[in-house]
Amino acid sequence: METEHSQRSAHLPQIAETRNPGMDLDMQWVRAVQANRSAIERRAASLPGRRSVKKAYQAAWLLKAISCIDLTTLAGDDTPGRVRRLCAKARQPVRADLLAALGVGPVTVGAVCVYHDMIAPAVAALDGSAIPVAAVSAGFSAGLSPFALRVAEIGESVRAGAREIDIVISRRHVLTGDWQALHDEMRAFRDACGPAHIKAILATGELGSLRNVARASLVCMMGGADFIKTSTGKESVNATLPVSLVMIRAIRDYHARTGIRVGFKPAGGISRAKDALVYLSLIREELGRRWLSPDLFRFGASSLLGDIERQLEHHATGAYSAGYRHGMG
């Protein structure tokens, strides 16, 4: 079962990579960061026309995308039953006959992402699958509850079995330029996570400028983030290619200077297989092959999987598919 082992262990960064220990806030570095919006938008706009994957390559890339999905439900009406259904889909995201037709073994998604109260049912439903449970935490999604409570919430979620914690940063620290406060906050959240991995959600739609996105990315990495993530999914503007480009360039810069690989998670608004391919090619172009793996890249998405399943069936059969042919999550 070697394949299964490597697949199972691929999800969490610590298996292959040194965890990001963080570093003291380096304001000289932070201040030097620039992000030219027009140039970044041009690059983002030309990328989909610069790379294309077809046929078997496209099928493989889509399977890769599935393995990088944080299958997510963050609704006020979530119930244990709803979460169990999602977890069942996480275990078998693609119909077995399609996988057989494509000539590949079992696949799973990267993680299941839920609110704190849904951790326990999710952990139970995923028992034995090696799929980690991720919890949004620290006063998600506004991040404006008392600081002590936000830290305590992280601890609770880790104790409840979450192996990944998605926290939101305090946007006000970015908007007021209080980088030390952001660094301290990130550090405190990271410490509260203990062994669980921490994804720092920048809520880029609320940061005002790409330059702020670049600087916040860097400060969060200095504060020890294992992943940086674009959005809660609750802002009016979620993941975009320009914002993603800024963040992954920050990741590249951090790696170049420290040797540490930090992961990236675009979240919100990615619902088409084609979008997923563009994101994967963006990662491949700007960060390289190593990042195309669930330990360093995740999609935060709820409806993306459905579109990918339909594309895979099209690849396997040559006929365009229909949604009801694939099991619901």
Partner 1 sequence: MNIPEILESMEYGPAPESAAEALAWLVDQGDRFGHFIDGAFTDPGEGFESRNPANGEVLALLSQATRADVDAAVAAARKAQPKWERLGGPGRARYLYALARLLQKHARLLAVLETLDNGKPIRESRDIDLPLVQRHFYYHAGMAQLMEQELPGARAIGVCGQIIPWNFPLLMLAWKIAPALAMGNTVVLKPAEYTSLTALLFADICRQAGLPKGVVNIVTGDGAVGEMIVAHPQIDKIAFTGSTAVGRRIRQATAGSGKALTLELGGKSPYIVFDDADLDSAVEGLVDAIWFNQGQVCCAGSRLLVQEGVAEAFHDRLRARMDRLRIGDPLDKSIDIGAVVDPVQLRAIAAMVDANTAGTTYRAATDMPAGGCFYPPTLITGLSPADPLMQEEIFGPVLVSGTFRTPEEAVMLANNTRYGLAATVWTENLNLALDVAPKLAAGVVWVNAANLFDAAAGFGGVRESGFGREGGWEGLSAYTRPKGKARALARVDPFSGDGAPADPIDRTAKMYVGGRQTRPDGGYCRPVWGRSGALLGHAGQANRKDVRNAVEAAQGAGGWAASSGHQRAQILYFVAENLSARAGEFARRIDAMTGRRGGEKEVEASLQRLFAAAAWADKYDGRVAGVPIRGVALAMNEPVGIIGALCADEAPLLGLVSVMAPAIAMGNRVVLAASEPFPLAATDFYQVLDTSDVPAGVVNILTGSHAGIAPPLAAHLGVDAVWSFSSRDLSGEVERAAAGNLKRTWVNDGKARDWYDPDCRPFLAAATEVKNIWVPYGE
- Just list the catalytic residues: 166, 229, 265
Give the SS3 label for residue 223.
Answer: coil
| Residue 61 sits in the site that holds partner 1 (CB under 8 A) | yes
| Residue 221 sits in the site that holds partner 1 (CB under 8 A) | no
By C-beta, is 184 or 285 nearer to partner 1?
A: 285
Residue from 210, 243, 278, 282 touching partner 1 (CB under 8 A): that is 210
State the helix-helix crossing angle for 210-222 and 241-258, rounded to 10 degrees.
Answer: 40
CA proximity to 70, closest of 89, 97, 48, 84: 89
276, 305 in Cβ contact below 8 A? no
Build a one-symbol-per-residue string for 157-196: x at contacts with partner 1 by CB under 8 A, - elsewhere.
Answer: ----------------------------------------
**Which parts of 160-203 fold into alpha helices (H)?**
171-175, 179-193
Binding-site size, partner 1 (CB under 8 A): 39
> Which of the ranges 34-42, 143-151, 161-169, 191-199 carries the binding residues for partner 1, by CB under 8 A?
34-42
Distance CA 314, CA 304 (A): 16
Supply 63's token pair: 């399977």
| Residue 63 sits in the site that holds partner 1 (CB under 8 A) | yes
- Minimum CB separation of residue 76 from partner 1 in Å reads 35
Residue 267's beta-bridge partner residues? 300
- Minimum CB separation of residue 7 from partner 1 in Å reads 10
φ, ψ at 144 (rounded to 5°): -115, 15
| Residue 292 sits in the site that holds partner 1 (CB under 8 A) | yes
Supply 37's token pair: 């919006």
Supply 315's token pair: 């690849």
- Minimum CB separation of residue 57 from partner 1 in Å reads 3
> Which of the ranges 43-51, 123-131, 158-166, 192-200 carries the binding residues for partner 1, by CB under 8 A?
43-51
- Minimum CB separation of residue 221 from partner 1 in Å reads 16
> Which of the ranges 31-39, 161-169, 232-240, 297-305 carries the binding residues for partner 1, by CB under 8 A?
31-39
Distance CA 193, CA 177 (A): 25
Supply 142's token pair: 């506004």
> Which of the ranges 38-46, 146-154, 158-166, 225-233 carries the binding residues for partner 1, by CB under 8 A?
38-46
Residue from 17, 41, 156, 191 touching partner 1 (CB under 8 A): that is 41
Going from the C-alpha of 264 to that of each of 145, 166, 251, the distances in angstroms are 26, 12, 8
Residue from 19, 64, 84, 85 touching partner 1 (CB under 8 A): that is 64
Length of the chain: 329
How far from chain centre, in Å, is Cα 195? Answer: 18
| Residue 209 sits in the site that holds partner 1 (CB under 8 A) | yes
| Residue 55 sits in the site that holds partner 1 (CB under 8 A) | yes
- Minimum CB separation of residue 212 from partner 1 in Å reads 9
φ, ψ at 63 (rounded to 5°): -65, -40
| Residue 310 sits in the site that holds partner 1 (CB under 8 A) | no
- Minimum CB separation of residue 54 from partner 1 in Å reads 5
User: E-strand spans in the chain?
Assistant: 69-72, 111-114, 133-137, 164-168, 197-201, 227-229, 263-265, 299-301
| Residue 42 sits in the site that holds partner 1 (CB under 8 A) | yes
Residues that bind partner 1 (CB under 8 A): 34-43, 46, 49-57, 59-61, 63-64, 102-105, 209-211, 249, 280-281, 284-285, 289, 292
